[in-house]
Amino acid sequence: MRDLTATTKPSAIEFVAGARATVEDMAFAPRDGRKYELVKGEIKVSRPGMYHELIGTHLDNTGNKGSLYGSSVGFRLPNGDLLSPDVSFVRLETLPGGKTPEGFGRFAPDLVVEIISPGDVVMDVEEKAQLYLDNGTRIVWVINPRSRRAMVYKPNARLQVIEDGDMLDGDDVLPGFAVKLGDVLGERPVR
């Protein structure tokens, strides 16, 4: 594999899963409908679809407690990884000066939602959930549309499994926020 750490602009063809890169290289990731992340210096690629994005929009009732972001936002975590959760929530007090920064966030979001895409490896998504927690995220929801379940990860807590008819809640990150997982998932997509 070719190393992308050169100072010149990399070409789109070099952005393949497993290629080595830096955070600076990621600014040149192609805009081709795939999601590119940097984990331990290696590019990770996923291909979310319309249903995947629709699920994220069903979470947009967080009030004025912070900001909700979609999948194109990147967070440069304290360990140096650059991740782009499918949905993220950042409390006002976490945002620098209470404002959204231009470019990558240089902090961990308070709440992360990862939605398992058909091409995702579940173990990779679970490892990513742990990366978020290790870097300061307080809640990670991993939603699996096929099984219609969500896994809730919190630091120093047991994994919680939420079924289709159960409620996802914002706990102390988003007090008062609760939504039924089935409402987030909506109807099953047409294949």
pLDDT at 2: 41
The more confidently predicted of residues 120 and 16 is 120
Predicted confidence (pLDDT) per residue in 4-33, tens digit: 443 444 444 367 667 777 778 877 777 777
With 0-12 / 13-18 / 19 or more C-beta atoms within 10 angstroms meaning exposed / middle / buried, residue 56 is: buried
Give the confidence band of 118 by pLDDT, cuts at 50, 70, 90: confident
Tell me what the mean pLDDT of segment 147-170 comes to.
95
Mean pLDDT of the chain, nearest integer: 82
Spell out the domain ranges in the chain. 1-45, 48-185
pTM: 0.76
CATH T-level assignment (fold) for domain 48-185: tt1808, chain A (3.90.1570)
Which residue, among 83, 97, 103, 87, has the nearest Cα to 143 in the 3D structure?
87
Residue 163: pLDDT band (50, 70, 90) is very high
